[in-house]
Amino acid sequence: MSRGGTPPDLTRHEPADPRSPQGDRGSRILAPLRAEGARGVAIAVLSTLVFFTLATVAVLNSSGWPEIKQAFFDGEIFREAFPKILEKFTRNVVIFLSAEGLVLVLALLLAVLRNLTGPVFFPLRLIATAYTDLFRAVPTILVIALLGFGAPALRLKGVPNSDMFWAIVALTLVYSAYVAEVYRAGIESVHPSQVASARALGLSRRKTLRFVVLPQAVRRVIPPLLNDFIGLQKDSALVAFLGFTEGLRQAQIIQFENFDFTPYVALALVYVVITIPQARFVDWLVARDRRRRQAAIGV
Amino acid sequence: MSVNGAALVIEGLHKSFGRLEVLKGIDLSVAEHEVVCLIGASGSGKSTMLRCVNLLEPIDRGRIFVEGDEITARGVDVNRIRQRIGIVFQAFNLFPHMSVMRNVTLGPMEALGMPREDAEDRGLGLLERFGLADKRDDYPDRLSGGQQQRVAIVRALAMQPDLMLLDEVTSALDPELVAEVLNVIRELAEGGMTMVIATHEMGFARDIARRILFLDEGVILEEGPPEQIFSSPREPRTQRFLQSIIEAGRM
């Protein structure tokens, strides 16, 4: 999961835990350098400079570069498009933040239903299982189309026909299926002896779940849950398919006006800027959990 | 065997896991304030017996009475029963996401419905009694194994149980931490707590128990006062077991 490793500047500010083993703290890219010392660092800096200078010169002098620059990296179009895209991107933000809030609740409900024991609850377990299977099987864009085009077409009373509403519903339905599985893995990772201890005190099943199992499960699943949320945020662009003017649709409109793809690059930049810090934060959480687990084992 | 007047009575307890019969007819009566130690090899059924008494394992046959009430009867409220029986496990099993105080007050507050202040007063009293008051706000991972196990004992005591079951509570501890936990149990015994203790600490069992039960292959093969069991065991299997313990230097 932590493919990129952990940026050292984040971990360094952590208060040092005397029990945590040193090492494995910095990034996987930089760690081998540290082992080689000053000479290694000097060689790395030099070779990096030479490599990227040569690469830049090669790209800028290649025969197709002016056309590429004009089509994708047109500064003037960028300056014009970026504020407009950013303005419409706030709609994506509303969509994904709303969906994330709803997913947290619906997914937890599904996970708890799936973990109910006892024959009486079989239908509930069945529904929860069928739900997660179904919504992980159907492509997200199809669910968005089905609800976004389909539901308003029914012209039912009281059914909203706002694209944004159905986009939120569709993303919530799809991502709840994924996050429910994440929660479920977390619930199952809590050791049975924890349940035995709580039940031995005379706590009911429900109170055991609420006070002992879920708090531990939720803590453990925060990193994979945030990863799913990054996916959800990116998938908010699929709403453009409904013709709803969010970030991607706005970029497309400007592209049509100028016959130029720079607006897409501008939007991509927005996604990169909001997504990478979150991915790094997840990496940091994973690394911190690993350290804590090692510390706990060391006791 | 009189059901009334005894703290715990077990009659003809049978328990199997799949095809493996772990308990093959256990009969036992424990008087109020009595301390009984269960000894026997690993796999002889000590832990299973304690877990059955706390209804953590469903039993196949037999009956169990606590303070005269049959807890294995149909339709009993298992949560109410467990509130009367404290159990402490080999692996501490504290709740890692809760402070020491919250570990101790969870049962009284959520199972007994006690208000927070009352539960904390009771918890603090117990923590003070066992020298843990300064750890009240710490989380379990900051404590030594011995401290964790003492907190686990306090957590069980906070429910003011009629009966305590201790399942090899020192087996997971480093040798230097064993004494502090055994001292807590000694104090409980002196306070008159009725206890059934599964243990490998033979010296401790000899000191503290009024009666020793030797469990072998799912039955109580031999029982008697510690002087008799440890100095002149009748059964050859008891003799062999004690001999192996002496050879291992654990007595």
Nearest CA in chain A to B55: A200
Q: Of the candidates B83, B200, B208, B87, which has an alpha carbon nearest to the alpha carbon of residue B153?
A: B87
CB contact under 8 A, A202 and B82: yes
CB contact under 8 A, A201 and B106: yes
Q: What phi and psi values does residue B217 have, to the nearest 5 degrees? A: 50, 45
Which pLDDT score, from 0 to 100, does residue A135 have?
A: 94
CB distance from A275 to chain B under 8 Å? no
B174 vs A155: which has the higher pLDDT: B174
The shortest C-alpha distance from A137 to chain B (Å) reads 36
Eight-state DSSP code of residue B228: H
> Which of A17, A189, A201 to mutate to probe the B interface, most B CBs <10 Å?
A201
> Which of B93, B116, B154 to mutate to probe the A interface, most A CBs <10 Å?
B93
A108 has pLDDT over 50: yes
B84 has pLDDT over 80: yes
Cα–Cα dist A31/B151, whole Å: 42
Structure tokens at A153: 């077409």
Can you spell out the DSSP letters for B104-134? HHHIIIIIS---HHHHHHHHHHHHHHTT-GG
Cβ-Cβ contacts under 8 Å between A and B: the total is: 65
Assign A14 a pLDDT band (cuts: 50, 70, 90): very low
Which pLDDT score, from 0 to 100, does residue A220 have?
A: 87
Where is B46: in which H helix or E strand? Answer: helix B46-53
Using alpha carbons, list the distances in angstroms from residue A8 to A12, A13, A31, A151, A235: 6, 9, 10, 49, 30
Assign A299 a pLDDT band (cuts: 50, 70, 90): very low
Assign A238 a pLDDT band (cuts: 50, 70, 90): very high
B51 has pLDDT over 90: yes
**According to the per-residue pLDDT averaged within each range, which of A124-133, A243-252, B242-251 is highest?**
A124-133
Which among A198, A201, A216 has CB closest to B97? A216
Q: What is the mean pLDDT of residues A166-171?
A: 93
**According to the per-residue pLDDT averaged within each range, which of A102-106, A245-249, B137-141 is highest?**
A102-106
CB contact under 8 A, A201 and B89: no
Assign B4 a pLDDT band (cuts: 50, 70, 90): low
Structure tokens at B132: 């843990």
Mean pLDDT of chain A: 84
What does DSSP say about strands B35-39 and B20-31: parallel, antiparallel, or unpaired? unpaired
Instruction: Report the phi/psi class of residue B70: left, alpha or beta, with left for phi > 0 and alpha for psi in -120 to 50.
Output: beta
CB distance from A198 to chain B under 8 Å? yes
User: B111-158 pLDDT, tens per residue?
Assistant: 999 999 999 999 999 999 999 999 999 999 889 999 999 999 999 999
Cα–Cα dist B180/B147, whole Å: 8
Residues of chain A in contact with residue B82, where contact means CB-CB under 8 angstroms, are 199-202
User: A16-56 pLDDT, tens per residue?
Assistant: 343 334 444 445 677 777 777 888 888 889 999 999 999 99
Alpha carbon A258 to chain centroid distance? 32
Q: Which of A:167-196 have CB within 8 Å of B?
A: 193-194, 196
CB within 8 Å of B233: residues ≥ 6 apart: B214, B222, B239, B242
Cα–Cα dist B188/B184, whole Å: 6
Which pLDDT score, from 0 to 100, does residue A298 have?
A: 46
Half-sphere exposure of A190 (CA within 13 A, CB side): 29
Q: Which of B:78-137 have CB within 8 Å of A?
A: 79-83, 85-87, 89, 91, 93-97, 106-107, 110-112
Which among A200, A296, A299 has CB closest to B82? A200
| Percent of chain A clearing pLDDT 70 (strictly above) | 88
Rg (CA), chain B: 18
Cα–Cα dist B178/B184, whole Å: 10
User: A208-218 pLDDT, tens per residue?
Assistant: 999 999 999 98
CB contact under 8 A, A203 and B79: yes
| Coil vs helix vs strand at B213 | strand
Residues of chain B in contact with residue A17, where contact means CB-CB under 8 angstroms, are none
Angle at B104 between CA B102 and CA B110, to 5 degrees: 75
Nearest CA in chain B to A215: B97
Q: What is the largest CA-CA distance in chain A?
A: 77
- The region of weakest confidence among A23-27, A67-71, A197-201, B116-120 is A23-27
CB within 8 Å of B18: residues ≥ 6 apart: none
CB within 8 Å of A279: residues ≥ 6 apart: A4, A227, A230
Can you spell out the DSSP letters for chain A? --TT---HHHHHTSPPPTTSPSSS-S-TTTHHHHHHHHHHHHHHHHHHHHHHHHHHHHHHHSTTHHHHHHHH--HHHHHHHHHHHHHHHHHHHHHHHHHHHHHHHHHHHHHHHHT--SGGGHHHHHHHHHHHHHHHHS-HHHHHHHHHHHHHHT--TT----HHHHHHHHHHHHHHHHHHHHHHHHHHHS-HHHHHHHHHTT--HHHHIIIIIHHHHHHHHHHHHHHHHHHHHHHGGGGGGGT--SHHHHHHHHHHHHT-SHHHHHHHHHHHHHHHHHHHHHHHHHHHHHHHHHHHHH-
Cα–Cα dist A83/A118, whole Å: 56
Question: Tokens 């531990």 belong to which residue?
Answer: A216
A9 has pLDDT over 50: no
CB contact under 8 A, A201 and B145: no
Cβ atoms of B195 and B18 within 8 Å: the answer is: no
What does DSSP say about strands B163-167 and B219-224: parallel, antiparallel, or unpaired? unpaired
Eight-state DSSP code of residue B229: H
Which among B87, B141, B145 has CB closest to A200? B87
Using alpha carbons, list the distances in angstroms from residue B221 to A25, B24, B239: 57, 11, 11
Residues of chain A in contact with residue B81, where contact means CB-CB under 8 angstroms, are 202
pTM greater than 0.90: no
A139 has pLDDT over 90: yes
Nearest CA in chain B to A219: B97
CB contact under 8 A, B111 and A299: no
Residues of chain A in contact with residue B91, where contact means CB-CB under 8 angstroms, are 193
CB within 8 Å of A41: residues ≥ 6 apart: A33
Angle between helices A65-72 and A262-298 (to 10 degrees): 80
Q: What is the largest CA-CA distance in chain B?
A: 55
Assign A5 a pLDDT band (cuts: 50, 70, 90): very low
Nearest CA in chain A to B112: A202
Question: Tokens 């997914």 belong to which residue?
Answer: A107
> Which of A117, A197, A212, A216 to mutate to probe the B interface, most B CBs <10 Å?
A197
CB distance from B141 to chain A under 8 Å? yes
**Amino acid found at A89:** F
Which pLDDT score, from 0 to 100, does residue A34 have?
A: 72
Where is B76: in which H helix or E strand? Answer: none
